[in-house]
Structure 1
Amino acid sequence: MAGIFSFKCSSCDEIHEGSPSFGFNAPDPYLEQSEEIQSKGKLSDDLCYYEDEDGIHYFARVTVEIPIHGIEDGFLWGVWVSLSKASYEHYVNNFTKEEIDQGYFGWFSNYLPYYSNTYALATNVYPQANGKRPILELQEKDHELYHDFINGISITKAQKIAELCIHG
């Protein structure tokens, strides 16, 4: 396997090195709320909740890695998932423990660039020890992101997605 992913960007002609890593600062449902609702909720680097007419919504920031063929490190996304109240509270109460023996069901809560609607894909969330961000596993679905999660992506596809994220 090649050690480092790098490519000459077709948009800016610069060389970008290192496996791509892109993250979202908030779950999309939170960003879609009014400032009033957002101000009554909470958004940190790893946790989010807010209340609207449908009730209280809970989210955690997680990582999902898409393998890149021939490259040691994958394409890493920092995304948000919605959790049930019980899962959210368990996660918060066990965040800093050395071992967390429970995973959670969650709904993917961001729209990834390049992929068709990634919002509300079913996921499994696996907390990591000592406050590290949980790892996300996509549940089986006929969706390009799931296919890429299972089978990996080519270097060319990784470059296309990275260029889209960098330059819009």
Structure 2
Amino acid sequence: MAAIFAYKCRKCDELHEGSPSFAFDAPAPYRYLSEQERGEWAELSDDLCVIAHPEGTQYYVRALLEVPIHGVEEPFLWGVWVSASETSFHRYLDSYDKPPEDPIFFGWLSNLIAVYPTQKSRPADVHIQTDGTRPRVRLHRTDDESDALV
């Protein structure tokens, strides 16, 4: 049976089947920095971002936000960035070597997903995975019962 979704990969130029996904390459606060500020204050990798500006240091972790698709087994994935406290950031880094005692930390969604009606930062729980994959994000409910991301 053919998959419901098929897409052409930008990296390998191959056709893939399965649920689509989109990802942000950096947290929004990194994008707001000038090129000079990025060079002086920020470190960005595929999975981590640290912005050490004069007002303080901000920590971000790349994670996956799963959005179920009715009638499809695989969820739609958003590759998003979430903020982390310094303690949670280091706990996440330590999880590369050993599973954390508490695999969940609080953060804020640090990207605005324009196709959804809520255009503000969202509180979230970040679930560290023990299989080496990116953490999963569970957004907190808002007052809007029709919230498509929860």
- TM-score, normalised via structure 2 length: 0.82
What is residue 23 of structure 1 aligned with on the other side? Answer: 23
Task: Report the Cα offset of residue 105 of structure 1.
Answer: 0.2
Deviation at 1:55, TM superposition (A): 0.9
- Match of 2:19, as an amino acid? S
SS at match of 1:137: strand
Q: CA deviation at 1:37?
A: 2.2
Within-5 A mapping of 1:34-49: 34-40=34-40, 41-49=42-50
Choose between structure 1 and 2: higher helix proportion: 1
**Aligned pairs (5 A) from 1:12-91:** 17-40=17-40, 41-91=42-92
- Highest relative contact order (Cα 8 Å, sep 6+), 1 or 2? 1
SS of residue in 1 equivalent to 2:147: helix
Aligned sequence identity (%) = 40
Structure 2 match to 1:120: 121
Contact 2:65 2:78 in 1 (8 A): yes
Aligned residues: 141
1:118 Cα deviation from its structure 2 partner: 4.1
Aligned to 1:148: 148
**Aligned partners of 1:80 and 1:52: how far apart in 2?**
18
1:84 and 1:17, CA in 2 relative to 1: closer, same or farther beyond 3 A? same
Between Structure 1 and Structure 2, which shows a larger proportion of strand residues?
A: 2
Q: TM-score with structure 1 length normalisation? A: 0.74
Distance (Å, rounded) in 1 between the aligned partners of 2:3 and 2:143: 30
**RMSD in angstroms over aligned alpha carbons?**
2.6
